[in-house]
Amino acid sequence: MTPKLRSGLCAIVALTLAACGDGAEDDRADLTQREKDSIFARSRIPGAKAVRTSMTKADSASARQARLDSADAEP
């Protein structure tokens, strides 16, 4: 096979593969980091329990801070 033929064949294969894409966007790209972490926390992947625990602790700290802020705002 000559180098010219080989490069032409590679170009045809590359164009064919590029044309096979469905053009649909990846829905995961629209997720926030919080949503991605939540999905991961619900999975059975090792380490997911630690993510779930840390998210629960962060939620508790945020709720406590919100309570303190609202109590401080009201005399």
- The full set of domain ranges for the chain reads 31-75
Q: At 73, is the pLDDT very low, low, confident or very high (cuts 50, 70, 90)?
A: confident
For the entire predicted model, the pTM comes to: 0.55
pLDDT of residue 34: 92
User: CB of 53 within 8 A of CB of 35?
Assistant: no
pLDDT for the residue 59: 95
Which 8-state DSSP code applies to residue 23?
-
* pLDDT per residue as tens digits for the range 10-57: 778 777 777 676 666 666 678 999 999 999 999 999 999 999 999 999
d(CA 17, CA 64): 54
Distances (CA, A) of 39 to 30, 45, 48, 53: 14, 11, 9, 13
What is the distance between the alpha carbons of residues 8 and 56, in angstroms, rounded to a whole number? 57
Q: What is the structure's pLDDT at 29?
A: 77
